[in-house]
Amino acid sequence: MEKKSAEIVSPAPYFKIAFGCGNRAFYTVKGELYDIAEEIGIEIQDGYITEKCDYEGDLEEIIIYRQERAELLIDKVLEFYGVNDWEMPEDMDLVLSIY
C-alpha cells in the first residue's frame, strides 16, 4: 500500500508511517508486514508488534517495538515503504497507522 506520510511524532517520540486508507484496507498493510517478516525469517507474533483497534474492533495501528531482535524487521519495513533514508533514532518504536 502507498504511504501518505512519514514523520517523527512527539512528545512520546516514535516514528510513524501513515496510510490514507480506511480500517479494512489497512489489513493490506498488516499483510505486507507479515510478508516482510516471513522473507527475513522472523515470526511476527513473537513479541515484535502490538496491534491497536478502534472501538469497533477494526485495526488502526501496528506498533513495532524497537528491540535488538526487531532491528532487521524495522530496517526492512522502512526500506519497503521508501523511508529508509530517514534518520530514525535508535530508541524509537515504529508505528504503522491509518491517516
Dist CA 45 CA 51 (whole Å): 10
What local confidence, expressed as pLDDT, does residue 5 receive? 86
Q: Is 36 left (phi over 0), alpha (psi -120 to 50) or beta?
A: alpha
pTM: 0.88
Residue 36 phi/psi, 5° resolution?
-60, -45
- Give tens-digit pLDDT for 21-33: 988 899 999 999 9
- Give tens-digit pLDDT for 29-64: 999 999 999 999 998 888 889 999 989 999 999 999
- Give tens-digit pLDDT for 58-89: 999 999 998 888 889 999 999 999 998 877 88
